[in-house]
Amino acid sequence: MSGRPLDVLEAALEDVVTVTLKDGTAYYGALAGYDQHMNAVLEPAADVDDELGGGLDVTPVEDTTIIRGDNVVTIQV
């Protein structure tokens, strides 16, 4: 796998990811899509371990959610 960000996102499609935003909030869900601006589309994830996020306050998405790339600090697979 290449280390380029968009290649990493391509490989992570349909996997559960945690997206951390500039304001410190974090959300997790299945990565349903993205674009060249790193806007991300998350959908609810089934059967996700409650310990996801390693003790951080991570909120699961409850519906299809679009996160603007300008607000994203990290996307973790």
Average pLDDT, integer, range 35-59? 77
The per-residue pLDDT for range 9-22, each reduced to its tens digit, is 999 999 999 999 99
Average pLDDT, integer, range 45-61? 68
Number of structural domains in the chain: 1
Q: How do strand 26-34 and strand 40-43 relate by DSSP bridges?
A: antiparallel
Q: What is the CATH number of the domain that holds 56?
A: 2.30.30.100
3-state class of 9 per DSSP? Answer: helix
Cα 49 versus chain centre, distance: 15
Maximum C-alpha span of the chain: 31
2, pLDDT greater than 70: no
3-state class of 27 per DSSP? Answer: strand
Least confident residue range of 1-5, 14-18, 28-32, 34-38 = 1-5
- Domain range for 49 is 5-76
b vs e for 43-70, b when ≥16 Cβ sit within 10 Å of the residue's Cβ? bebeeeeeebbeeeebebbeeebebeee
